[in-house]
Amino acid sequence: MNTATLGATAPANPIPLKQDASVIGLVGLAHGTSHFSHLLLAPLFPVFMRDFGLSYSDVGLLMSIFFIISGSGQAMAGFVVDRIGARPVLFAAITCFLMASLAASMVTGYMGLVLVAALAGLGNAPFHPADFTILNQRVSAPRLGHAFSAHGLTGNLGWALAPAFLVGITALADWRTAYHAAAMLYVAVLALLFWQRDKLRTEVHVRLADAPKGSELDYLKLPVVWWCFAFFLLSTMTLAVVQSFAPSILKSLYGVSVEAATLTISAYMLCGAGGMLVGGFVAAYGQSHRFSSDRVVAVSMSSGAALLLLCATGWLGATGTMVALAATGFAVGVGGPSRDMMIKKATPKGATGRVYGTVYSGLDVGFAISPLVFGALMDRGWYALTLAGAAVVLFISVYAAVGVGRRTV
């Protein structure tokens, strides 16, 4: 299996912009529901702790359950996507989110929340292999950079929407009503995708009868796949530090209020979304001018790591550190579309679902282990060192990105 063999070649006749835009919009909407599901429980943890008498460890375990199921299921989901197509898998995933929301509206204790986390994690597992299979097959090559940009952008918007949606409705009514509303949201998205299902159809990978047993696993022998996996794991560990610990770090080092510290995370996400929007044009420019995707990723991640290191020095003060953290989101976001282009180049023909499933499972692993690794530093009060450690890990991810570039053509 040769990594130089890429996905489907560009069609002879140009694909209309409207057709590409429709596919990109539908997949982006679906991806937004995936990121919304990441925070299906977390915004209401204080409510659950109050109503069910739970501890921080109890609710933290719910997120671990989510990411363990999502990460382990993601690699396996790639095989299913390649075998039966992305569309039915995508529909099944959103149905899992619907079931998770309905289950959340009826929970009476901790085990019910465990079920919700498991259903949401199961639904989240197939999204990256399904989404990228559709985009790679249905969007014209010159617009793939913009497609990957929109994909990352809608994911960030899903993260931003979930807390406002769930907490807002809870404040107006109650948390069970909030989950009923979330269920209706998933119904609406599923109905729209089903109505436009022709735009989501993908070709399946047919396994020949005389193919050697285990040949579907041959892609795992490619070193480039594991370099991609390492890149996702490492870069996600840094994101997890910012999401999980930045408010506590800002409060402990500078006495920043909880509201201002939380606003910094929102600013990080919004700047990340803006970076992805810009990154789509950067990826398209690089593709047309033969500027390698791994170089773009290396520059953007190095810039983000340098900003984090600057934050760790304490030289910037409270306001400067908050601004620099937001700028870090922009720097990392610019590399997002080129990151996905980099993985496309490393993907053998017919193995899109499997490769993306395996590679993106590194994201779930990074989210799962980062709080454990850096939480130990936080427990000792080493707040600046936590930021510095996140920067070092992001620098190491640059080495992984360069390793991917050296192994693709």
SS (H, E, C) 96-143: HHHHHHHHHCCCCCHHHHHHHHHHHHHHHCCHHHHHHHHHHHHCCHHH
Q: Which residue has the higher pLDDT, 33 or 225?
A: 33
Query: What pLDDT does residue 88 have?
Result: 94
Helix/strand/coil for 214: coil
pLDDT tens for residues 288-339?
Answer: 666 678 888 899 999 999 999 999 998 999 999 999 999 999 999 998 888 8
Query: What pLDDT does residue 4 have?
Result: 36
In this chain, the answer to whether the domains covering 17-201 and 218-409 adopt an identical fold is: yes
CA distance 38 to 124: 8
CA distance 165 to 101: 13
CA distance 352 to 8: 10
pLDDT tens for residues 229-248?
Answer: 999 899 989 888 887 788 77
Mean pLDDT (the chain, rounded): 85
On whether the CB atoms of residues 175 and 98 are closer than 8 A, the answer is no
User: CATH number of the domain at 218-409, out of 1.20.1250.20, 3.40.50.300, 1.10.287.3240, 3.30.565.10?
Assistant: 1.20.1250.20
**Cα separation values, 191 from 147, 158, 279, 308, 339, Å:** 22, 18, 31, 42, 31
Nearest to 8, CA basis, from 146, 145, 138, 142: 138
Task: Considering the domain delimited by 17-201, tell me its CATH architecture.
Answer: Up-down Bundle (1.20)
294 CB contacts (<8 Å, ≥6 apart)? 338, 342, 401, 402, 404, 405, 408
Query: What pLDDT does residue 206 have?
Result: 58
Amino acid, res. 327: A
Q: List helix spans (H) across 289-316.
A: 293-313
Query: What pLDDT does residue 291 have?
Result: 67
Q: Please name the residue that has the structure tokens 């995707």.
A: 293
Q: What is the DSSP letter of 409?
A: -
Out of 145-159, 174-188, 276-290, which region has the weakest mean confidence (pLDDT)?
276-290
Nearest to 39, CA basis, from 180, 195, 209, 156: 156
Residue-range domain boundaries for the chain: 17-201, 218-409
